[in-house]
Amino acid sequence: MANRKIVVALGGNAILSSDPSAKAQQKALEETAGHLVKLIKNGDDLIVTHGNGPQVGNLLLQHLAADSEKNPAFPLDSLVAMTEGSIGFWLQNALQNALLKEGIEKEVASVVTQVVVDKKDPAFENLTKPIGPFYSEEEAKAEAERTGATFKEDSGRGWRKVVASPQPVDIKEIETIRTLLNAGQVVVAAGGGGIPVVREEDGSLVGVEAVIDKDFASQRLAELVDADLFIVLTGVDYVYVNFNKPNQEKLERVSVAQLEEYIKEGQFAPGSMLPKVEAGIAFVNNRPEANAVITSLENLGALIESESGTIIEK
Q: Is residue 229 a contact partner of residue 6, using CB atoms and an 8 Å limit?
A: yes
Tell which phi-psi region holds residue 184, choosing left (phi > 0), alpha (psi between -120 and 50) or beta: left
Of the residues 52, 88, 129, 193, only one is catalytic, namely 129
129 counts as catalytic:
yes
Of the residues 5, 191, 214, 291, only one is catalytic, namely 214
The pLDDT value recorded for residue 63 is 92
Cβ contacts of 288 within 8 Å, gap of 6 or more = 314
Cα first-last separation, the chain = 19
The pLDDT value recorded for residue 64 is 87
The model's pLDDT over 48-90, given as tens digits with 9 standing for 90+, comes to 999 988 888 889 889 988 999 999 999 999 999 999 999 999 9
Instruction: Give the span between the Cα atoms of 24 and 15, in whole angstroms.
Output: 9
Q: Is residue 300 a contact partner of residue 35, using CB atoms and an 8 Å limit?
A: yes
Of the residues 51, 88, 276, 280, only one is catalytic, namely 276
101 counts as catalytic:
no
The pLDDT value recorded for residue 1 is 62
Q: What is the pTM of this model?
A: 0.93
Q: Is residue 261 a contact partner of residue 200, using CB atoms and an 8 Å limit?
A: no
Instruction: Give the span between the Cα atoms of 267 and 11, in whole angstroms.
Output: 20
214 counts as catalytic:
yes
276 counts as catalytic:
yes
For the chain, give the mean pLDDT: 94
According to DSSP H, which parts of the chain are helical?
22-41, 53-65, 76-102, 137-147, 174-182, 214-224, 256-264, 273-286, 300-306
> How high is the mean pLDDT in each 10-residue block of the chain (314 residues)?
88 81 93 95 96 88 91 94 96 97 96 97 93 88 88 88 94 98 97 97 96 96 97 94 93 96 94 93 96 95 92 95
